[in-house]
């Protein structure tokens, strides 16, 4: 079994990637998307979004980091992918799953799931632009408004040269509302010859086993479930039999505070701390109690002090 950490835009930055992969169980992680729109990106953009390029494209716990690009112009994506590989990206992942309106209105992300030919052209161009030794992968949803093109889209990505697909088991219109349609991931898995990674609504070990059974996929990608239960990958793999208690999880939360302290406006840093607590409260009652206190606080130091006594 291989388990990946999802590229959660606006959430899973270099700091959370470091903490979550350090928990164990993850085989690789993917960066938040790097938007490619009108030009060749300067190197500083790649380094900003993927600082791990300075560390052989690995987190501090030696978990490989795949670099994700988002855009709709095949040539621009190909040129930027080639540069990312020159800077050390070991895998280029292409985003065809983002449901955000600001992305879709600029013909990016899941918007492209309406056009299988365009998916093929993008993957084909990127595949041709990078060395054969570098995998080109794609992340997709089941469709834009509906699932009509799910199989055709997956086959177009395979035909373009994708080494594997990650499939989020919902359409753009379904956003993040339960359930995730693991059976539809299974239909895609049956329709292509390349590996398929199943993603969506995996919050527990039981969910992971059910997803594997229903989709037929050996590989999984964890997103929000890993934020709520940071040791979930380790539990799924059987590397640990007992869930991490709050006393130890609190130490990781404090470490996260120290990593992001001073990295931006205090209100923004406080917001990132609260954002993680929103997920942690689903697994830890103490995190829920801490969030109730933190909601009223705007200073990161105040949230830190509240954490110490939680």
CA dist 291 and 274 (Å) reads 7
Determine the average pLDDT of the residues in 69-89.
Answer: 98
Active-site residue among 12, 29, 50, 98?
A: 98
| Sequence-ordered alpha helix ranges (H) in the chain | 14-22, 43-49, 74-86, 101-104, 116-129, 150-160, 182-191, 205-215, 224-228, 232-236, 246-260, 266-280, 285-294, 300-308
What pLDDT does 38 receive? 87
Where do the CATH 3.20.20.70 domains begin and end in the chain? 3-236
Is 299 tagged catalytic? no
Determine the average pLDDT of the residues in 110-137.
Answer: 98
* Phi then psi dihedrals of residue 296, to 5 deg: -90, -5
Please give the residue that has the higher pLDDT: either 245 or 100: 245
The pLDDT confidence band at residue 230, using thresholds 50, 70 and 90, is very high
Nearest to 176 by CA among 109, 107, 97: 97
What pLDDT does 250 receive? 97
Q: What share of the chain is helix, strand, coil (3-state, %, to 5)?
A: 50, 15, 40
What pLDDT does 87 receive? 98
Would the pTM count as exceeding 0.75?
yes
Candidates 3.20.20.70, 3.40.50.2020, 3.40.630.190, 3.40.190.10; correct CATH number of 3-236? 3.20.20.70
CA dist 175 and 98 (Å) reads 9
pLDDT tens, position by position, 88-115: 999 999 999 999 888 887 889 999 999 9
Determine the average pLDDT of the residues in 177-195.
Answer: 98
Where do the CATH 1.20.225 domains begin and end in the chain? 246-308
What pLDDT does 105 receive? 76
- Assigned CATH for 246-308: 1.20.225
What pLDDT does 104 receive? 84
Determine the average pLDDT of the residues in 246-264.
Answer: 96
């Amino acid at each position: 079994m291989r388990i990946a950490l999802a590229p959660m835009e606006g959430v899973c930055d270099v700091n959370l990637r470091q903490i979550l992969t350090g928990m164990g169980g993850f085989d690789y992680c993917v960066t938040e998307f790097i938007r490619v729109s009108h030009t060749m990106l300067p190197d500083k953009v790649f380094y900003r979004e993927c600082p791990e390029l300075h560390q052989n494209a690995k987190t501090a716990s030696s978990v490989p980091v795949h670099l994700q690009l988002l855009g709709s112009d095949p040539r621009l994506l190909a040129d930027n992918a080639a540069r990312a590989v020159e800077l050390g990206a070991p895998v280029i992942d292409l985003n065809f799953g983002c449901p955000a309106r600001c992305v879709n209105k600029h013909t990016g992300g899941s918007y492209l799931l309406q056009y299988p030919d365009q998916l093929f052209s993008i993957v084909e161009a990127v595949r041709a632009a990078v060395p054969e030794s570098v995998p080109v992968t794609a992340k997709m949803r089941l469709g834009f408004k509906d699932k009509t093109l799910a199989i055709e889209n997956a086959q177009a990505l395979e035909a373009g040269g994708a080494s594997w697909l990650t499939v989020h088991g919902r359409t753009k219109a379904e956003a993040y509302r339960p359930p995730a349609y693991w059976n539809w991931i299974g239909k895609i898995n049956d329709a292509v010859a390349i590996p398929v990674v199943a993603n969506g609504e995996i919050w527990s070990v039981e969910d992971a086993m059910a997803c594997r059974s229903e989709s037929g996929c050996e590989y999984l990608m964890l997103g929000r479930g890993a934020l709520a239960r940071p040791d979930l990958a380790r539990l799924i793999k059987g590397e640990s039999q007992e869930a991490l208690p709050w006393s130890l999880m609190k130490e990781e939360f404090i470490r996260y505070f120290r990593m992001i302290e001073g990295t931006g406006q205090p209100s923004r840093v406080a917001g990132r701390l609260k954002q993680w607590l929103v997920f942690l409260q689903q697994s830890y009652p103490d995190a829920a109690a801490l969030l109730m206190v933190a909601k009223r606080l705007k200073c990161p130091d105040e949230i830190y002090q509240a954490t110490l006594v939680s």
